[in-house]
Amino acid sequence: MTQAGASDSDHKKSLVREAAGTKTWRHVVRADADAAAAYLNADPAQGPGEATIATRPDGQIDILAFL
């Protein structure tokens, strides 16, 4: 399984700061399901109902996360 890297956590935290206290749906693409799971579990982790994923025809994963 792919581990969440500092870059995933840093990316998510920057999106949260950018939103200035207002949660917004964000779109992110990851290479595979393991990378998508690692992203969603990176700090701050998504809670129930705060994310959805879909597989693209090329095998990459679209993530919609509520940050």
Question: In this structure, what token pair is assigned to residue 22?
Answer: 């207002």
Q: Give the tens place of pLDDT for each residue, 37-55.
A: 999 988 887 889 999 999 9
pLDDT at position 5 is 55
Confidence of residue 1 (pLDDT cuts 50, 70, 90): very low
Q: What is the DSSP letter of 12?
A: H
R_g (Cα) of the chain, nearest Å: 11
Mean pLDDT of the 16-42 span: 88
CB 15 within 8 A of CB 67: yes
Confidence of residue 3 (pLDDT cuts 50, 70, 90): very low
Q: Which residue has the tokens 């840093």?
A: 10
**In this predicted structure, what is the pLDDT of residue 6?**
62
Q: The whole model's pTM is what?
A: 0.72
Residue that has been written with the tokens 């998510």 in this structure: 12
